[in-house]
Amino acid sequence: MSTPLHQDIGQGTTLIDCLLHRPALAACYLVRDGEELALIDCGTNHSIPQILGAIEDSGAAPEQVRWIIPTHVHLDHAGGAGRLMQRCVNATLVTHPKGVPHMIDPSRLQAGATAVYGEAAFARDFGDLEPIPEARCIAAEDGQSFSLGSRPLRFIHTPGHANHHGCILDAHSGYLFTGDTFGLGYPELATPSPYIVATTTPVAFDPDAWEQSLDRLLALGPSAVCLTHFGRYGHPADLAPMLRESIRAHAEIALREEANPPEGREERLHKAVEHLLIDGAVAHSGLPREQVTALLGDDVTLNAQGLAVWLARRAKRRQNQANA
């Protein structure tokens, strides 16, 4: 039995709303083949009731979860992994090699996020992160496949949004679970057609690597992309140009800012990203600006912060080269 919190999207796959901040912001995906289950992304600790409810409604039990596969270890994708692994006692966690150490010892993740959000907001949105025993973790090689019943789930390294990002191809369905690599696509903005934009959150935005990752993904010929933010979209090749344009537009905003003094940079970046995302979404969807701002306001802030970090990394690299 499906509910608004989880819906069957075909091919043995269920979309689960993680209920982060609001409905239809962050999803994870339950894939079933025979008696085996896999979870791709897992939201935060507060998402676990929705996940367990979806497992129960599918007629299965947490003990049948074989794989928990965060696309990357940002907290909206992997914050609940440790506590979920405690409930899914037969599961193995699979993620990018650069992400596995943070799953085994999440103290740095928690400290960094607490510094950004503050203790009260961190507790409200994420809860304490739980470590996962090293013996229950696998660092996925690029292209490595993991069997789920009769279907292989293939983990593909896709840097660009994060340097430890991976996407998962279900060879049975052709569904490609893209985390943040295929951008943001909120359903409220998908009329008359999907509105797909980049998410450049701190700290590892790399536009060139991102476009190369998109090339790799599209070469796989997926039947659909399943975004964490948010939902399944068909015809990925038709949507990719919009995402590429957004990646390039974000990079151009940052590069235009690069020659300016640091004073006021954060405000200028925020204003430019707001124009790009909010004005673009209003023009695309026809929704009132206040509604669009409510949907994308946090993304504007995070994207601007990510561009500032990218500029700081570029400046440090130039300095290191000058000192070499």
| CA–CA dist 77, 95 (Å, integer) | 11
Mean pLDDT over residues 294-307, rounded? 95
Mean pLDDT, the chain, integer: 95
> Helix H segments across 58-141?
75-78, 81-87, 100-104, 107-117, 119-125
pLDDT at 4: 65
User: Residues 176, 177, 178, 184: is their CA dihedral positive or negative?
Assistant: positive
The string of pLDDT tens digits covering residues 229-263 is 999 999 999 999 999 999 999 999 999 999 899 89
Mean pLDDT over residues 83-103, rounded? 98
CATH of 6-242, one of 3.40.50.300, 3.60.15.10, 3.40.190.10, 3.20.140.10: 3.60.15.10
| CA–CA dist 306, 203 (Å, integer) | 6
Mean pLDDT over residues 26-34, rounded? 97
The domain ranges of the chain are 6-242, 243-323
The string of pLDDT tens digits covering residues 116-137 is 778 898 888 888 899 999 999 9
Q: How would residue 144 be classed by pLDDT, with cut points 50, 70 and 90? A: very high
pLDDT at 2: 43
The pTM for the full model equals 0.95
Mean pLDDT over residues 94-99, rounded? 98
Q: How would residue 1 be classed by pLDDT, with cut points 50, 70 and 90? A: very low
| CA–CA dist 218, 165 (Å, integer) | 16
How would DSSP label each residue in 251-275? HHHHHHHTTS-STTHHHHHHHHHHI
Mean pLDDT over residues 71-91, rounded? 96
Residue 171 has pLDDT above 80, yes or no: yes
